Copies of this chain bind each other. A is one copy, B any other.
Amino acid sequence: MTTHYFNNSENRLHNELFGAEAFYDLDTTGNQAKALTKIVEGDTCVVATPQGKLVRFSRYIFRRFALQKDGADKQVQVLFGDLLDSHLLSKAEAAIDIDYGVLFDKKGNFKRASVHVDPARSNMIGERFFGEIPGVPVGSTFDSRIALSSAKVHRPTQAGISGAAKEGADSIVISGGYEDDQDLGDEVVYTGHGGQLNGKQVKDQEMLVGNLALVVSEMEGFPVRVVRGPDKNNSFSPPSGYRYDGLFRVDSHWHEIGKAGFKIWRYRLVKLQAEAVPSEISGVGTEGLPTGENSNPVRKSQTVQRIVRDTKQAKNVKMHYGHACQVCGTRIMTATGPYAEAAHIRPLGAPHNGPDTSDNILCLCPNHHVMFDFGAFSIEDDRSLIGIEGSLSIRPGHRIDIKHLAFHREKYSNRAK
């Protein structure tokens, strides 16, 4: 659900002018009229009304609008909805507020626009739209990169990755441009960009622009639209043109020496299961919000940032360490027992296919598990840590295969970049 901001700078009393539940009114023509077409029932609306040196921010759930005449006998579109809450803040407070700061410019002054749609409260970050494009179902096809761009599915007409370092990546095109790509259908091993000349890898790839954007999407859990282009060597490719194949999450990234002998960045993307996500969330469907709930999350507003897997061997290793982290010794206690996570040194699944055996598993606290998976530290054969201080604690009876440690150092360590 998008959040819309309205600057009630004239301090109009909408209740008195238009009746109960009225909270704002807009011109029937011009920019204000256009703004209204973007509102749907259930959206959040924030109305900011100056009160002396303070500003009152009132949040409403939009229900409907109606054409009415205002005090000056002018025809206006009136917005009606349910009041959620109301806060009286100084401008200094409001300017740094998570929810209301968007209404102020860098100097702390009220923005002039009377209607403002907050991009960060929709699926937008900057001009970038994350998630499924409305009206473009999975399987939609496009004749050309231009058509794909016009439909906003993948905006760059040349680059394979649509993204910026600070915003994340919103889409990629798989089209056989990189000899190291692997396509398994619901899993894709995708090669980063850069270092190519006339279709050949001629130098190392760097962790910049689109390559970095894909990592941001991984760390934040942003969904990435995957488009497949023509590629006679890929059985998952469309026979011609471009096909939108759904939302994927970036599961992991690493570096390696590609077939041409230069360093490349690689990304494992896994398809987000449309069936799986809704089952964990009670969507509001089309009936709008249930009574008494502030803001019930809809199905598409959530994606997965991180999945921690359990395996058969996981419990054995965790028990062996009494659920204490092999890096910091932390043992997370809850009322019902200790909690730890099993980290596979060489990752499970394609393309790495690490084994689920105790010699490939560490017992870590969640913090060090995240750091290990993102390559913030790696482990030498002598157990000393690379990237952070300290050494890995290994209890007698736990043999770790140093081949797996070498694999992690080589592919994941940040220091090896």
Question: Among residues 171 to 221 in chain A, which have CB atoms less than 8 Å away from a CB atom of chain B?
Answer: 184, 186-187, 207, 212, 215-216, 219-221
Cβ-defined contact, B349 with A280, below 8 A: yes
Segment touching B, from A11-19, A65-73, A313-321: A313-321
Cβ-defined contact, A280 with B251, below 8 A: yes
Segment touching B, from A28-36, A136-144, A228-236, A293-301: A293-301
Partner of A297, one of B219, B320, B356: B356
The secondary structure that dominates the A interface is mixed
Give the interface size class of chain A.
35 or more
Which residues of chain B are near A309, meaning CB under 8 Å?
221, 280, 302-305
Cβ-defined contact, A355 with B293, below 8 A: yes
Q: A356-B301, A397-B96 are in contact. Are A219 and B366 (CB under 8 A)?
A: no
Cβ-defined contact, B310 with A220, below 8 A: yes
Which residues of chain B are near A222, meaning CB under 8 Å?
310
Cβ-defined contact, B366 with A370, below 8 A: yes
A369 vs B369: C-alpha distance in the bound complex, in angstroms? 14
A26 vs B330: C-alpha distance in the bound complex, in angstroms? 46
Chain B CB within 10 Å, residue with most, of A271, A281, A317, A339: A339
Question: Among residues 225 to 284 in chain A, which have CB atoms less than 8 Å away from a CB atom of chain B?
Answer: 251, 270-271, 273, 275-276, 279-282
Which residues of chain B are near A314, meaning CB under 8 Å?
220-221, 305
Q: Is A332 an interface residue (CB 8 A)?
A: yes
Q: Is A160 an interface residue (CB 8 A)?
A: no
Q: A335-B376, A348-B297, A397-B101 are in contact. Are A187 and B302 (CB under 8 A)?
A: no
Q: Is A311 an interface residue (CB 8 A)?
A: yes
Partner of A215, one of B280, B336, B369: B336
Cβ-defined contact, B280 with A220, below 8 A: no
A417 vs B336: C-alpha distance in the bound complex, in angstroms? 11
Shortest beta-carbon distance from A400 to chain B in Å: 10
Cβ-defined contact, B219 with A330, below 8 A: no
Which residues of chain B are near A349, meaning CB under 8 Å?
280-282, 297
Cβ-defined contact, B332 with A376, below 8 A: yes
Cβ-defined contact, A270 with B280, below 8 A: yes
Which residues of chain B are near A221, meaning CB under 8 Å?
308-310, 314
A212 vs B335: C-alpha distance in the bound complex, in angstroms? 10
Cβ-defined contact, A353 with B215, below 8 A: no
Chain B's closest residue to A278 (CB) is B186
A212 vs B337: C-alpha distance in the bound complex, in angstroms? 9
Q: A333-B376, A396-B93 are in contact. Are A307 and B310 (CB under 8 A)?
A: no
Q: Is A379 an interface residue (CB 8 A)?
A: no
Q: Is A367 an interface residue (CB 8 A)?
A: yes
Q: List 14 A-B contacts (CB under 8 A).
A: A87-B399, A97-B398, A121-B313, A121-B316, A219-B336, A220-B315, A222-B310, A276-B276, A280-B349, A297-B348, A306-B307, A332-B371, A339-B370, A339-B374
